[in-house]
Copies of this chain bind each other. A is one copy, B any other.
Amino acid sequence: MTSKYAELNPPARLLLGPGPSMVHPLVLRALSTPLVGHLDPQFIVLMNEVQDLLRMVFEAPDALAIPVSGTGSAAMEASLCNFIEEADPVLVCVNGYFSERIIDMATRYRADVHRIDVPWGEVFSPKQVDEALKAKPAKIVAIVQAETSTGALQPLAEIAEVVHRHGALFLVDAVTSLGGIPVRMQETGIDICYSCSQKCLSAPPGLGPLAMGQRAVEVLKNRESKVASWYLDMTLVLKYWGPERTYHHTAPISMNFALREALRLVQEEGLPARFERHRRNAEMLWEGLAELDLKPHVPLGHRLPTLTTVTVPEGVDELGVRKALLDAYGIEIAGGLGAFKGKIWRIGLMGYSSRPENVVTLLGAMERILR
């Protein structure tokens, strides 16, 4: 017999969108390593190494940290369903697409969801959170550190203090920040934090790093009801990743090979050097955009270095530019989501994609397309 399909041969792409970012050649090599069983003594060693490396990148030495066996959205859902019981009050700070997603999920888990809003692209002040919690206490306060839909960077430390003063758990989405800008989970006072594998960590998508501080673990341990999802139930998953090694599901072995290598490369570079590289290449991009008369959507004060949103100039065909970048140069950037559709471009310089040669390639291609 023959298959109707040819062998896989996708086109070469320079990935400068909101993720996936380029995957380091060493990570691709780790990915293609022949497998060992998921209960093999050597895989158990690897599971411990991955957990240790996750605590390193979250900067949370006391946390329980594991890669959820799904994408960042699965980790988002796990960070909610494990701590929510029916009718629990949850406050969500909404300033973009992904905080709306948090509300959708929390509602499905029957939380009593309240929200505060600022316009997309803006960030919250500690005072706003304080007032919301004075008006109605919450068990969990959820916020997005790096909004992938807007490019805004939310300061966290003072809000963490407010949240804890009110006795709530502080839940932070670090999907577009972990490994690219400081998250500093423990120092900041984050209780629950999740991310993805395919942005600033530069592994392929398919795992969702999740870290839970001691306060969060206590809440998990003292639940009255079972977690509503079996697959994402951390009371079971942590027994599989912990010393008990109780079988739960089969871990995605190859993806864990890749994540270990990606995190090892983070450790090798060192977090401060890595953050500095992301900042330096972002500034190079911003200078180049200014020369092309293109304006970042978010003011410098709370602009993400990992993902830059650019206002599409009057009269320019948003989709046409992206299509030209992809077709003529093999470069991927993204358009806007939701309210920002057609109005912005989103340019990611994350992980292995954050390199000066990529910045000049993109700027050179954009100059030729726009002139």
Task: Please give me the residue from chain B that is nearest to A273 by CB atom.
Answer: B1
CB-CB under 8 A from A129, the residues of chain B are none
Residue of A205, A226, A257, A267 most packed against chain B (CB within 10 A):
A205
* Residue in contact with A252 in the complex, picked from B42, B248, B253, B255, CB distance below 8 Å: B255
A28 touches B20 (CB 8 A): no
For residue A284, give the distance in angstroms from its CB to the closest CB of chain B.
Answer: 23
B252 touches A5 (CB 8 A): no
How many copies altogether?
2
Q: B-facing mask of A96-139, CB < 8 A → 1, else 0?
A: 00000100110011000000000000000000000000000000
Considering only residues 1-46 of chain A, those with a C-beta below 8 Å from chain B are: 1-5, 7-8, 10-13, 15, 17, 19-20, 22-23, 26, 28-43, 46
A257 CA to B161 CA, complexed, in Å: 45
Residue of A12, A104, A254 most packed against chain B (CB within 10 A):
A254
Interface residue count for A (Cβ, 8 Å)?
Answer: 85
B2 touches A205 (CB 8 A): no
CB-CB under 8 A from A340, the residues of chain B are none
A72 touches B20 (CB 8 A): no
- Asked whether A253 and B205 contact (CB < 8 A) given A28-B34, A32-B29, A77-B231, the answer is yes
B7 touches A36 (CB 8 A): no
A74 in contact (CB, < 8 A): yes
A250 touches B20 (CB 8 A): yes
CB-CB under 8 A from A198, the residues of chain B are 250, 253
B28 touches A32 (CB 8 A): yes
A37 touches B8 (CB 8 A): no
- Asked whether A37 and B20 contact (CB < 8 A) given A73-B231, A205-B251, A231-B77, the answer is yes
Task: Please give me the residue from chain B that is nearest to A49 by CB atom.
Answer: B5
A15 touches B35 (CB 8 A): yes
CB-CB under 8 A from A74, the residues of chain B are 69-70, 231, 249
A35 touches B23 (CB 8 A): yes
Q: B-facing mask of A295-334, CB < 8 A → 1, else 0?
A: 0000000000000000000000000000000100000101
A144 in contact (CB, < 8 A): no
11 of the cross-chain contacts (CB-CB < 8 Å) are A2-B268, A5-B264, A8-B260, A10-B33, A15-B35, A20-B35, A71-B250, A77-B231, A206-B252, A229-B229, A252-B255
